[in-house]
Chains A and B, each alone.
Chain A
Amino acid sequence: MGSTSSTLLKIPNVEVLMQETGFSPAHMIRLHDRFKALDKEGRGHLCPQDFGAIKELAMNPIGDRIIGAFFCPGKETVDFHTFVKILAHFRPVDKNRPKEPNSPEPINSRSNKLRFAFQLYDQDKDGKISRDELLKVLQAMLGMQVTEEQLESIADRTIQEADLDRDDAISFEEFRKSLEKVNIDHKMSIRFLR
């Protein structure tokens, strides 16, 4: 595989990427290898079929939404840059990062993790999770086991719990508030290296 530095150099804009996402060089190499493995035809970018080829992802109830999250609206392909940036959401939060006042929030901050999850629900990107969108998600996750009315009641109840301004939809702020006691760190982080 060649030495670390030479492999790193093959990745375009690797310095900028590492800066933005906070990944270490070892992480970048690993992710790049994975990207190339997924990109079977060697085009340098991924399309939905490449993601679809991952077998386990097909079994995931919200798998299609997650795949959709990789693709920016309008674009049909995912390049390495976007791939890494999306995955950067799932890095564990750095507890000891010095707080620079002017730097933008890191991609893996708690707020950004929540925003990623929010966008999975909010498919039409209007900034709110409407009852229908919630119903679709619930149906995907629970579909086999509960009846239609029960699903609707659960959706109603969920909105009622979180909806503070009573507009029958959950905005990002309400979403965040409803999850303020949940340890997002634990629940939205994965390990990137063996």
Chain B
Amino acid sequence: MAFLQQFALLLALLIVFSTSCKAAALEVDSVEVGHNYSSKSTATEDTSTSTNNSTDGQAPSSITTLPIVIWKWHHVETPYLVALWILTCWLCKLVCELNHNVTSVIPESGLLIILGFILGGIVWGADKAQTFKLIPVNFFYYLLPQIVLDASYCMPNKLFFSNLGAILIHAVIGTCWNAGTVGVALWACYEGGAMGTLNIGPLQFLLFGALMSAVDPVAVIGVFEEVHVNEVLYILVFGESLLNDGVTVVLYNVFDAFVSLGGPKINAAEMIKGIVSFFVVSFGGSFLGVVFAVLISMLTRITKNVQVIEAGFIIVLGYLSYLTAEMLSLSAILSITFCGVCCQKYINANMDEKSVITLRYTLKMMANGSETMIFVFLGVSAIDKTIWVWNTGFILLTLFFVVAFRFMGVFFLNWVLNKSRLIPIDIMDQFVMGYGGLRGAVAYGLAAILDEKKIPEKNLMLGTTLIVVYFTVILQGISMKPLVQWLKVKKATQSDLTLNGKMNNRAFEHILTAMEDICGRMGDNWWTRHWKHFDEKYVCWLLMKSDAREHNDPIFGAFHKLNLEDASKYITEGERKGSLAFIRNYDSASVDFKKKLALEYADIMPNIMADISEYDFGIDNVPVNSVMKNTIPSVSLDIHEQDRNRSMPNDLSAHHILDQHLYKSRRDVRTNPDEMQEIFQRTMRSRLESFKSAKMGVNPAKKLSKHPKKDSTHKPNGKPADPHRTHPFGDEDFEFSADSASSSEIAGHFPRRSTNAPGAGVDNPAFIPEMDTSPPIAQGRLPWTPTNLRRLAPLRMSTHSTDSFAMADASVDDEVPEEKPGTHHTKL
């Protein structure tokens, strides 16, 4: 069946695809026509109006009768094709993810490229020309920014900044080394005659080396997300791939300019300018990113009333930071990276929890979608006869040099770094770092925007770039996982968020700080401490909302997060058993969440966190601004307190889930009345059962259908079931908003029972004082538990037994206790 499914999907894919091609074929003609017209119209303004009219295809003047339906392809052509291609790429991703066995061997990025080959072949077959290619403009402006924004927003800041020195050294020096050595080595081989005759000069080799040198963040994400290596290694490779853009852009532009200038004009002044431009571009880009981060943070301070689109602001402003840097010819990737990295903490604190979740998921969706499209298009672009110029020597030598010099660079730099690192980088980790130097779409993009007039061998370079990309992504991607396992590289520790962990982290920080003070030296902790102090005093004052500031503490944030998780687990567990099996004893409503409970129900626990954040890379920032709105601090889910605070307009989503099942006053009409009815009936039945078993040991009446789920005696808190205090059904919360109609309906069952029970008559009025207390309790404080019921149990001996139910279940608002028992006869 699975095969048929896959096959059907593939077929659908092809059909979708062919229509797009057909459409493309159709519009090739009209496009050419359109191009002619549009070029003319830009040239001469007078004729523009007339040409516009005629490009509307069939000129309106030629129709003779009112057409009912018109084929308006030319109107929707561009957006239609774009949407169709996006759909196709995402369907490809769907096909890839159908079978997990395949994706664990070949990384998804590799599979997507291969599917891209197939699609490209289809287009080629239909069109004899590659109409759909990865156009650099589209890539750099529409596909790349969201990936970088998402990566930087989810970046584990602590880890990033504590390893920033190592990352920068690799990014700057490593990339320069790669660029220089590859270019020079290739040139040397060319001079040595290994490549035959090409129309290339040494500067062009250097340019080629520069564009080949960039380790690509998209490819790194694509491959490393399957292989969970330890956090330090991951952050080194990933951080390097993000920050080397500054260098790559500079090198590319510098060498491009040199190529234009020509050999003789390059003197010391130009070289110095090149070096200066590096500093300007990278620091300028980063600074611009920080400026935008400040803007975003300040903006989120005041967006409380537009929470609906709060998340959108960050995306738009992030994109603007990218474009602004591009406009000023600074490093755009650095700009958007630092924007995301710096504003993380403040916007998470300022925005409402829902907005944070929205933002996180939106960014993930956009980033993943773009990544998919990039890889598919990388495959499609390959099927194009026009770009392939085969030169075996060039290609093979490039591959060899790229890999070899990468390893050399990594080992050398790490050797230097290890001399001054506190915890040296393992040799196996270094090997994986070298192996993880993947090239990707950025290199392809840079190669595609080469000017053919200046660089006659552009196609050769383009083809070689593609081959290197395929080699690294597919081959190195496939072998990365087995390599990591074979080398026994330390994997990421999937640590659960524990209060212990957080608290001890904090304690360790303090201890280390104290030790460094005692030793009297400025250690790493000195910087961290002073930054923290500065941050708390000035930056948070500026960028965070005042109430967010007060609750901005990682321990408290962890506590809050854990409470939410507990609440969700509680709900899912309770729902599994039919209704919320809640608190045992009302006086100390403490919930005992043992780890084994968590393990048991881990699979039904909804996974609300994004992938990477499961691994404790030190992500501390949890939005806590919702907690301050309600004073429900304790692990012991004081449910009644939640009820009291119901007037709060913004409830947490967890509380909203709890709300549905918790004891509620009549005022609340949010829940489904049928559901409440059902729960009410169930609780009625269970109460009766409890009376029977508690009092008489009489078998429960068979007529009443037992709710099967209630038979389980598994108690959520792991304590042994107390036969005296509890009944087999677990405790229920009673929905008291049943109207009198239902209560009388239930009451109708009771007379049957009251006859078979012998028993001591109990003085009804004696219990009325207790009844007195119960409705007010029910009103605001307690869910009705069997301990209460037990006291009421003797009541059922008289016909007034039902009164207790009727009274209890009647409107809580009513002042029931005052009623005389006699008046309730009518209800029976």
Contact = CB atoms under 8 A, between A and B. Distances in A.
A142 B523 contact: no
B510 A191 contact: no
A157 B635 contact: yes
Contact of A189 (B423, B521, B592): B423
A153 B495 contact: no
Given A145-B553, A153-B636, A179 B510 contact: no
B515 A62 contact: no
Interface string B584-607: 000000101111000000000000
B555 A153 contact: no
Contact of B525 (A66, A137, A190, A194): A190
B510 A188 contact: no
Interface string B519-558: 1110111000000000000000000000000110101100
Contacts of B636: 153
A161 interface: yes
Interface stretch (B317-325, B471-479, B499-507, B652-660): B499-507
Nearest to B556: A146
B812 to A, nearest CB: 27
Interface string B557-580: 001001000000000000000000
A61 interface: yes
B511 A156 contact: no
A172 to B, nearest CB: 13
Secondary structure class of chain B's binding surface, majority of residues: helix
A138 B597 CA distance: 27
Nearest to B594: A160
A26 interface: no
Nearest to A189: B422
B593 A160 contact: yes
Interface in B22-65: none
A11 interface: no
Contact-residue size bin, chain B (C-beta under 8 Å from the other chain): 35 or more
Given A37-B520, A161-B498, A181 B551 contact: no
A117 B499 contact: no
B633 A185 contact: no
B503 A117 contact: no
A158 B500 contact: yes
A117 B510 contact: no
Interface string A131-156: 00000011001100111011011101
Nearest to A31: B519
Contacts of B501: 178-179, 181-182
Contacts of A57: 514, 517-518
Given A51-B518, A158-B503, A60 B510 contact: yes
B2 to A, nearest CB: 37
A87 B499 contact: no
B504 to A, nearest CB: 6
B635 A190 contact: no
B523 A141 contact: no
A62 B511 contact: yes
Given A117-B511, A178-B501, A187-B505, A34 B519 contact: yes
Nearest to A33: B520
Chain A CB within 10 Å, residue with most, of B493, B500, B550, B553: B500
Interface string A158-194: 1011100000000000000011011101111111101
Contact of B633 (A145, A147, A186, A192): A147
A63 interface: yes
Contact of B510 (A141, A154, A160): A141
Nearest to B494: A181
B236 to A, nearest CB: 14
A34 B520 contact: yes
A132 to B, nearest CB: 15
B507 A54 contact: no
Nearest to B490: A183
A120 interface: yes
B523 A157 contact: no
A179 B500 contact: yes
Contacts of A161: 498-500, 595
A56 interface: yes
Interface string B136-150: 000000000000000
B562 A157 contact: yes
Contact of A54 (B504, B518, B524, B562): B518
Contact of A157 (B514, B516, B559): B559
A4 B389 CA distance: 67
A22 interface: no
Nearest to A137: B507
A146 B558 CA distance: 13
Contacts of A160: 592-594, 635
A56 B525 contact: no
Interface in B245-292: none
A191 B523 contact: yes
A136 to B, nearest CB: 12
Nearest to A170: B500
A181 B494 CA distance: 8
Interface residues of A, number: 51
A174 B496 CA distance: 16
Contacts of B495: 181-182
B514 A66 contact: yes
Given A137-B507, A153-B559, A187-B508, A56 B513 contact: yes
Contacts of B487: none
A66 B657 CA distance: 45
Given A117-B504, A120-B507, A178-B498, A150 B516 contact: no
Contacts of B135: none
Contacts of B555: 138, 141-142, 154
A92 interface: yes
A90 B516 CA distance: 10
Interface in A101-154: 117, 120-121, 137-138, 141-142, 145-147, 149-150, 152-154
B512 interface: yes
A179 B504 contact: yes
Nearest to A184: B508
B634 interface: yes
Contacts of A154: 499, 503, 555-556, 559
B508 A188 contact: yes
Nearest to B551: A145
Contacts of B503: 137-138, 141, 154, 158
Contacts of A92: 422-423
Contacts of B513: 56, 60
B633 A150 contact: yes
Contacts of B509: 187
A191 B523 CA distance: 7
Contact of B518 (A87, A120, A152, A191): A87
Contacts of A178: 498, 500-501, 504
A146 B553 CA distance: 9
Nearest to B498: A161
Contacts of B553: 142, 145-146
Contacts of B493: 181, 183
A183 B423 CA distance: 11
A62 B508 CA distance: 10
Contacts of B520: 34, 37-38
Interface string A47-63: 00001001011001111
Contacts of B559: 150, 153-154, 157
A156 B635 contact: yes
A189 B511 CA distance: 10
Nearest to B230: A183
27 contacts: A56-B517, A62-B510, A62-B514, A66-B515, A87-B518, A92-B422, A138-B555, A141-B555, A142-B553, A145-B556, A146-B556, A149-B634, A152-B634, A153-B633, A153-B636, A154-B556, A157-B499, A158-B503, A160-B592, A179-B504, A181-B501, A187-B508, A187-B512, A188-B512, A190-B516, A190-B523, A190-B525
Given A181-B493, A190-B525, 6 more contacts: A90-B512, A137-B507, A145-B551, A149-B634, A154-B499, A157-B635
The 3 A-B pairs with the shortest beta carbon distances in the complex, nearest first, are: A150-B633, A153-B634, A178-B500
